[in-house]
Structures are given as C-alpha cells and as structure tokens.
A and B are shown apart, each in its own frame.
Chain A
Amino acid sequence: MTQAESSQGTEQVPLIEARGICKYFGAVTALEDVYLKLYRGEVLGVVGDNGAGKSTLMKILAGLYPPSAGELLVEGQPVHFSSPRDARDRGIEMVYQDLALAGNMRIDENIFLGREWTRRFGLLKLVNNAESLRRAKEHLDKLKIEVKSVKQRVEDLSGGQRQAVAIARATAFDARVIIMDEPTAALAVKEVRKVLDLIKDLKHHGIGVILISHRLDDIFYVCDRVMALFHGRNFAEAPLAETSRNEVIGWIMGNKSPAAQAAKIFDLN
C-alpha cells in the first residue's frame, strides 16, 4: 500500500494491465491485440456495442477465461490466472452481469462462497455459521445495504438486493480491482443511483473499478476515463473530461469523429 502511495506523484504502476490480449473461440475472434490499464482509485468505463468483446475481456481479467495470447500484469507483475480463484487471490473481483448467485443459499453464504468462515472441531474444519452471519451483517452495514436478515435466501430478494449481494461478495475481502459488468441494467432508477454512489465510495477507498455499461448516464456519472472496444479491438480512449456523450456514442458505433465517419463512408464507396 505504501509503495503505491509513494509512487502516486510519479509514474504510477497500474493495478491491472492487459497487453496485447487476444481471445479466439474456435474460428471466432473475440479479442484482437487489446490493451487496458487501470490505476488506483480510478473508475474506467468500458463501452462498445454488443459483441464488441467487453465481457470477454473482463472474464479474462477475472480469471474465468485464459487469453489465447497476450499478457496480464497485476501491479507490474506478470500473472497467469488459471481460475477465478487465482484472480481473487490477487484482489481482482468481478460482479457478473447475471450476478452469479446461488439462489438456494443464504445471503451470507453467497457473500462468502468459496471463502467460508470455519473453525476447528478436533480433526474437522467446520463452517462457522455464526461468524459468517455476523461478518456478512457487518459488511452490508458498511456498504449501507439494507436487508431484512442476512439469513434470507437470495432467491427471495428483489433485483436490487441481489445486485447488492453480488457487490458485497466482490468487496468482502481486500479487493483492489472490481470489475462490474452492467451492474445497473436490471435495476430501478433509485437503485441505480445507489450502485453508482457505491462505486464512487470504492474509488475513494483507492479501489480501481472497471465499469461496463450501456447507459452513458452511468459512465458520465462515475467514470474518470472511458475506453471503447469495437469488433474486439481497442477503438478509442479518453479521460472523461476530454470527451462528450456524442463522441462516445460515435465510438460505440465505430466512428472516431465526423471527419473519420466521412472518410469511412468515402472508403466504402
């Protein structure tokens, strides 16, 4: 931590960096030579049309898919993730678009899934439910997320509450990078604001956040920088202050600027 702080003035080492990432599914090219950098306390918006490769890139960063080619670095160190567990061990968490929650299990069990609290019982290591419930309650309180009881099953929760549980899981341990894939897509207006404010909160704690969203309102509310993918490649990137909604919409459609658009039309002819 101190190392990162002291280097803040000078050239920072990115929390996570992707270099020349390619991903092929059989004959399909999902990503081709993609670069990405994310710094401490930064919110990076990733935009692109359906099929642009956003989710695939995020799943590579989260350790769910291995890249076909290219390199991942965490705080300057080359890493190789063979499962989401490796990524989580490095402090990289992801909130999936479908939330990836087990509806049949309690809220606390979902938050600590794969990292259960245990205690020794002679030779046996058993799940410590009291600890799990207490810690989950504590954590949700910290995030200002209200639920009736952490003992509730996730399937009994509303969409917003489920989203909150998914975020709570990503933040339950010392995450350094949190990737959110369309976290607001299924939410009511009031809930969207809460999620976005939560992202701002995370940012202030020095966590790096990557936000995929189709909603430009979200991007322009929380992001520091925005990058666009188009047909599986880096297309454009800019600090938020130096771009506009219209330009970003153009990027999503594959247009760099009015001039470039004209050139493209000219090319086609």
Chain B
Amino acid sequence: MATTTPDAQITARERSLRVRLIPYVDRFGILFVVLAMILIGALTQPEVFLTWRNLSNLPGQNAANAVLAIGMFVVILTAGIDLSVGSVLALAMMTTAVLAREGFPPLLLIPLPILIGMAAGLFNGLGLTKLRLPHPFIVTLGTLNIARGLGNLVSGGVPVSGLPEVVRFWGAGNIPIGSIQIPVSLIIVAVLYLGFFVFLQYTRTGRHIYAIGGNPQAARVSGINVDRTLVLAYVLCGAMAGLAGLLVAGRTNSGFPNAGIGAELDAISAVIIGGASFFGGRGSVLGVLAGVLVIGLLRNILNLNDVQVFWQQVLIGVVIILAVFLDVIRRRVGSANE
C-alpha cells in the first residue's frame, strides 16, 4: 500500500548523508560520548588517567551500578521501574553478612543474596500483575521501604564487618592473566552483559520483553503471557540487586545497613543516559554499558581533577538532562520525514 509522498522525494531525502547517518548515531552516539570522556580524562590528567592503577579501579567502583543497571534496563524495557533495588541490595548484603557471622557455610553465601533478590523481585512482579497495583512505581516503592526495614532488622541496624574469603573474592578478587590482574567484578559484568545481550536480542522471551514495552496489548493478543514475562523481568532485576549486594559486600568486606541508598537512581540514570526509553521498548545492552561508563568516568575524572563531590552530583544531573534532550532532538530529526 503506497504512501502518498512522491517516491522521488523520498529517495532524495534518503540519499542525503545526514539522514543516512541517523541510524548509526542512533545506535552508537553514546559510545562517542564515552570516547570523548576518555579523551578528556587523558588530557586533563595525562600521568594518572590512563594508568592501569586508575583504570583497574573502575570495575570495582562501578560493578555494582553496572549490575543494578542491567537489571533495571530489563524492567524499564517493559515500561516499568524498580525503585527497590538499592534497598534489596542492602537486604541481601546484610543477610549474607549476618549469616556469615553466624557460621553459615561460606559456599552457600554466594547464591543466597541472589535468591533474596529474586524473592524481592517475585514480590514486586506479583504485586504488579496479581494485585494489579496501578504502576510498578507503587509496589517497588513499598518494597523499597520493606527491604530497607528488613535489612536493618536482620542486623539490628549495625554494620557487620569481616566476611569469608569466598565472598571477598567476588567483590574484590583478581584473576591473574599473564602479568596483569583481572578484577573478578569485571569478569562478572562482562559475562552478565553478554548474557543479557543474547537474552534480550535472541531469545523469544527477550523479544517479548521488547514487544511488551512497545505495546502490551499487541503482546497479549499475540498469545504472549504478559504477566509471566513481567514477573520474570522483575525477578531478573531483583536477582541483579542481590548480586550487586554480594559484590558490594565483597568489595567492602562488610555489610552495612545504609548500603545502596539512592543506588536505584544511579541505575536508572545509567539506563536513561544509555539511550533507553523511559516508556519502554527501546534501548540496548551496549547503551546501558555506555551509560554506566559515562557515570563512572565522570566521577573518576572529576575525582582526579579534585572537583568537589557536590559538583559531581550537579554534573550527573546535567548529563541526564542533556542525554535525554539529545535523544529528543535525535528523534525529531529522525521522524522529520513523516
């Protein structure tokens, strides 16, 4: 069924370089931002920024946010949100730390926080789909408070320090490859991102998550079990929050009940900076990784340049607004032929 626009006009427009570049800018624009930041870092701190000592700190500092962000991304793809991940992180971390202190078998301490996270995610998912709470904001806001409270209850509100070697290994360990030490957290993030990429791009369930974000009614009438897929998205997000709790516990060799306060906002920021749509159905795993890197590099560069931490927060806020504004402009250009 033909459009009413003359074909000649369409092709002339399509031949212009600017229009042909749109899909690439669309896909890789945020990576240029990352490259630009690396350049700025290298130029402002030439002796420090590109050293292994500085760069090898980045995975540890950003692994928790990277893990939270990839889980958050899955939920945001469904046009949802999970505000509870920071609290769930703390709950998983505190439970692990307390049980470690009580002599729980160290090897069971690895799956434990992830299972706690999954349970929280299941609660969120069922609250959304079975209780029919109107928006995931509500149920996850409830869980934010519940999990934070429980995290304080299990520990009596006090930090626990000193964790078994196996937990520390996950958060702060290194695996020597040749002469360099590869941080375990880096490997975890790499494996996870690859796994989520395959899941979201190449499995039926992954595609259904995109479809639900695009049009839940289309998904429903196509025979997709929308509720089950949504629950799965929240369980995955919760699992990532639990894993992030394990990583933070390992990295700090402790459990502290105030861990992860505001972490959900960092995760959401990374996802949005990475180009995902807040309204669901749009975004890529690569974009999320770029979003995490933008936030991590920004903090690192500002730290190296002795910028006050308060200014860092101001700048991250500016970056979020700029990133989404660029996205708005990009869409306006992209749809100018309509």
A: residues with CB less than 8 A from B are 62, 64, 83-85, 88, 94, 96, 98, 100-105, 109-110, 113-116, 118, 124-127, 145-146, 158, 160-161, 163-164, 169, 188, 190-191, 194
A161–B202 CA distance with the chains assembled, in angstroms: 26
0/1 interface trace, chain B 217-249, chain A, CB 8 Å (1 if under): 111111111000000000000000000000000
Convert B191-225 into 0s and 1s, putting 1 for each residue whose CB lies closer than 8 angstroms to a CB of A.
00000001001111011101101110111111111
The answer for the CA separation of A109 and B201 in the assembled complex, in Å, is 12
Residues in B neighbouring A169, C-beta threshold 8 A: 222
Q: Which of B3, B201, B206, B210 has the most CB of A within 10 A?
A: B3
Give the CA-CA distance A203 to B7 in the complex, in Å. Answer: 33
Q: Decide: A102 and B198 in contact? CB cutoff 8 A.
A: no
The chain B residue sitting closest to A195, CB to CB, is B1
- What residue in chain B is nearest A158 (Cβ atoms)? B3
Q: Is the pair A102, B223 in contact by a Cβ cutoff of 8 Å?
A: no
Q: Which of B201, B206, B223, B225 has the most CB of A within 10 A?
A: B223
CB neighbours (8 Å) of A100 from chain B are 215, 217-218, 221-222
Q: Is the CB of A113 within 8 A of B1?
A: no
User: In the complex, which of the residues A64, A102, A190 contacts B219, with contact meaning CB atoms closer than 8 Å?
Assistant: A102
Knowing A126-B198, A146-B1, say if A116 contacts B204 (CB, 8 Å): yes
Query: Are the CB atoms of B223 and A127 closer together than 8 Å?
Result: no
Task: Please give, as numbers and ranges, the residues of chain A lying within 8 Å of B204 by CB-CB distance.
Answer: 116, 118, 125, 127
Interface size class for chain B? Answer: 20 to 34
Q: Decide if the interface of chain B is mainly helix, strand, loop or mixed.
A: helix
B80 to chain A, nearest CB (A): 15
**What residues of B have a CB within 8 angstroms of the CB of A118 in the complex?**
204
Contacts A88-B223, A114-B224; A102 near B2 (Cβ below 8 A): no
Interface presence of B282 (CB below 8 A) = yes
- Interface CB pairs A-B, < 8 A, 5: A84-B221, A98-B217, A102-B210, A105-B214, A145-B1
> With A and B bound together, what is the CA distance between A169 and B223 in angstroms?
12
* Chain A residues within an 8 Å CB radius of B211: 102, 105, 109, 113
Residue from B198, B208, B214, B222 within 8 A of A84 (CB atoms)? B222
Q: Which 3 A-B pairs have the closest CB atoms?
A: A85-B223, A102-B214, A114-B222
Check B203 against A113 for contact (C-beta < 8 Å).
Answer: no
User: Residue on A with the closest CB to B206?
Assistant: A127
Cβ of A104 and Cβ of B217 under 8 Å apart? Answer: no
